[in-house]
């Protein structure tokens, strides 16, 4: 596996003098931490980086290694975030299709629909001096067809994630601002909303996550984290929710109410939690993570009921993917690099459990994705070949692997030769 994550983590430590980064220890230090510490607030206020500090040789990148027998076959899609481009590639890194759109400054997450349409969340302006309503105006959710033509584009302030629900509607995250007396004068709170849409982009409903978390009956203590200084955005990015998933397994719903088919799972970076909300009842059902995870991303329910979580380790200096039993609170599996600091992304990141039991992991800030077995063996590795004009490698928001039969069927329906 590449050592690029370690290089990036070390540079962050030197530059900021904030993170308690450990260098070279084979055994990882305790994973938890004090999420209210001032150094973490500063780290949470840093913008996403567009390109890694790594400067590979010109044209270097693509497939690094593959174990043909143990790697799960299929197709991968990932977004070159600051190129506003999504690429579909086979397991050997050969690009088969691209989607892109202008004007654009950034694409975040995506979802490939059953017929081949692509949903993306994006922004047309990433000026760090724009905040509040000015910042919201540039955000959108867009649906592109297989050939890259815009089906519709909705200015609903979408961010970070989108998915197709079991009922065929679309679920995404949106944001807005509110003023609360309990906060610093002149500071707005950036609220996050669960927003449901019809496939044609019509909004069905929206729920405030701040309202649900701050309700007395929730019994949840909101961390006043993610504060941005007044010379930056003058706002609290208090929640920074980055993934959503509607529960969809009746067999699990029969076992426990946390899997109710009206429930939604999400990850909140700035609250250091993964949480479950009930859409119909407008309430918090379950949460976990304080003292265990730092700056998490990409929570997803597995077939057996466990939850896969990308634990960034913000301020800790090393990242991991963990599998949590939500009924017991026990971590039943985790992956971190043998030398923990060799795998670290302070922001973004993703993990996907594959049908053969392997896990596909996105190491975002290094522009890397890799697949590991249950025992932690790396059986597939890829780094994006995209670079900026100075030769720095582009970052990756998240990579997803789709089963070969699913993509082959879509390609045939659109007159393309499947593999």
Task: Provide the residue count of the chain.
Answer: 419
Instruction: Give the residue carrying structure tokens 């790594």.
Output: 54
pLDDT value for 49:
58
- Burial (0-12, 13-18, 19+ Cβ within 10 Å), 37: middle
Rounded Cα–Cα distance for residues 272 and 270 (Å): 6
For residue 44, which phi and psi values (nearest 5 degrees)?
-65, -25
CA nearest neighbour of 384 among 133, 14, 94, 63: 63
Rounded Cα–Cα distance for residues 307 and 299 (Å): 7
Say which CATH topology domain 4-412 has: Neuraminidase (2.120.10)
pLDDT value for 260:
98
Q: What is the DSSP string of 3-36?
A: SHHHHHHHHHHHHHS-S----S-SSPPPS---TT
Q: Tens of pLDDT along 261-320?
A: 999 999 999 999 999 999 999 999 999 999 999 999 999 999 999 999 999 999 899 999
132, two tokens? 């509040």
Q: Collect all residues with Cβ–Cβ distance below 8 Å to 125 and sequence separation of at least 6.
A: 105, 137, 138
- Positive or negative, the Cα torsion across 365, 367, 371, 376? negative
User: CB–CB of 309/326 below 8 Å?
Assistant: no
pLDDT value for 31:
72
pLDDT value for 272:
95
pLDDT value for 83:
84
Domain ranges in the chain are 4-412
pLDDT value for 112:
98
pLDDT value for 75:
98
Residue spans of the chain under pLDDT 50: 1-26, 34-36, 229-232
pTM: 0.87
């Amino acid at each position: 596996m590449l050592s690029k994550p370690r290089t990036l983590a070390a540079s962050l430590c030197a530059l900021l003098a904030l993170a308690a980064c450990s260098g070279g220890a084979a055994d990882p230090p305790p994973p938890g931490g004090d999420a209210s510490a001032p150094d973490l607030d500063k780290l949470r206020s840093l913008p996403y980086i567009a390109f890694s500090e790594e400067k590979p040789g010109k044209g270097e990148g693509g497939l690094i290694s593959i174990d043909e027998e143990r790697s799960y076959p299929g197709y991968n899609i990932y977004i070159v975030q600051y190129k506003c481009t999504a690429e579909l590639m086979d397991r050997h890194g050969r690009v088969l299709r691209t989607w892109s759109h202008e004007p654009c400054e950034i694409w975040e997450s995506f979802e490939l629909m059953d017929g081949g349409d692509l949903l993306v969340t994006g922004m047309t302006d990433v000026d760090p001096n724009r905040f509040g309503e000015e910042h919201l105006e540039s955000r959108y959710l867009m649906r592109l067809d297989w050939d890259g033509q815009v089906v519709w584009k909705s200015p609903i302030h979408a961010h970070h994630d989108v998915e197709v629900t079991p009922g065929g509607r679309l679920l995404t995250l949106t944001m807005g601002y509110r003023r609360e007396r309990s906060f610093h004068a002149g500071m707005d709170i950036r609220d996050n909303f669960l927003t449901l849409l019809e496939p044609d982009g019509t909004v069905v409903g929206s729920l405030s996550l701040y309202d649900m978390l701050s309700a007395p009956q929730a019994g949840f203590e909101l961390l006043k984290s993610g504060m941005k200084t007044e010379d930056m955005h003058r706002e609290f990015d208090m929640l920074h929710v980055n993934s959503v998933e509607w529960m969809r397994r009746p067999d699990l719903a029969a076992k426990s109410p946390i899997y109710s088919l009206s429930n939604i799972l999400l990850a909140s970076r700035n609250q250091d939690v993964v949480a479950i909300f009930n859409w119909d009842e407008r309430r918090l059902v379950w949460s976990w993570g304080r003292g265990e995870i730092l700056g998490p991303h990409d929570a997803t329910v597995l077939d057996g009921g466990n939850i896969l979580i990308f634990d960034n380790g913000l301020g800790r200096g090393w990242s991991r993917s963990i599998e949590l039993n939500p009924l017991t609170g026990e971590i039943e599996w985790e992956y971190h690099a043998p030398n923990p600091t060799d795998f670290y992304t302070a922001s973004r990141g993703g993990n996907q459990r594959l049908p053969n039991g392997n896990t596909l992991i996105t190491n975002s800030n290094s522009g890397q994705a890799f697949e590991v077995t249950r025992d932690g063996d790396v059986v597939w590795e890829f780094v994006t070949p995209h670079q900026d004009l100075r030769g720095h490698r582009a970052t990756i928001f998240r990579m997803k692997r789709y089963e070969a039969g699913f993509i082959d069927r879509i390609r045939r329906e659109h007159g393309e030769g499947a593999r």
